[in-house]
Structure 1
């Protein structure tokens, strides 16, 4: 039986909280602007679960497009490479906390790919 996991979404620019973050995974396709790799304190960079460049540019964080964005993004997550990476994240996070890191602005987090990904990983909100 699989143990419950807690999936959180945070900005990569926030200071790491080792006791609370658990496994820290960057889920952006491109490296965050101005961030040094050693400062990110990542366990993994899962580019394979980020939206395609085309989808990301189309969406442009337009709130009116979020529902369609989420639908298109879920279709991308069903592709073999993304699905395999998603399954790997599920396995690594079972019974613990998984923190999805993104460079998305604070006010856009709940309408971001990371929020959709959190739902797909069965983590609810948080």
Structure 2
């Protein structure tokens, strides 16, 4: 499944394929024109309450990941969006875009793993 994650602040590349923002909030300082988006999948972002608790702190990441996966499993809108991405990724590169500063401590990493592990069950 061609699926990758990338900061929305990184330059657009043709090889990004389908570009989907997976944050609940619009990233500060990015114009819609420069984002080169094909979609904004807010329903795949962590809840506001979970995001606030997490605070992008590495010490919270493991628990955050567990709760975030539970949220994804329990949300029918997230499940529908996940199916759509999985179908798109069977034919095209899909780039999940996020705004967090840390490339190792962010929800897009978890979402990518989630999508890859659920590709046959959705």
**TM > 0.5 between the two?**
yes
Which residue, 3, 6, 16 being the options, matches 1:7? 3
TM-superposed deviation, 1:96 = 2.6
Q: TM-score, normalised by structure 2?
A: 0.90
State the match for 2:114 in structure 1: 120
Deviations 1:40-65 (A, max 9, x none): 00011000000011000000011111
Give, in whole Å, the separation in 1 of the partners of 2:24 and 2:94.
18
Secondary structure of 2:103's counterpart equals helix
Listed as ranges, the gaps of 5+ residues in structure 1 are none
Give, in whole Å, the separation in 2 of the partners of 1:50 and 1:71.
14
Task: Give runs of ≥4 in structure 1 deviating > 6 Å.
Answer: none
Q: TM-score, normalised by structure 1?
A: 0.87
Question: RMSD across aligned C-alpha pairs, in angstroms?
Answer: 1.2
Give, in whole Å, the separation in 2 of the partners of 1:109 and 1:83.
24
Give, in whole Å, the separation in 2 of the partners of 1:121 and 1:94.
12
Aligned length: 116
Listed as ranges, the gaps of 5+ residues in structure 2 are 118-122
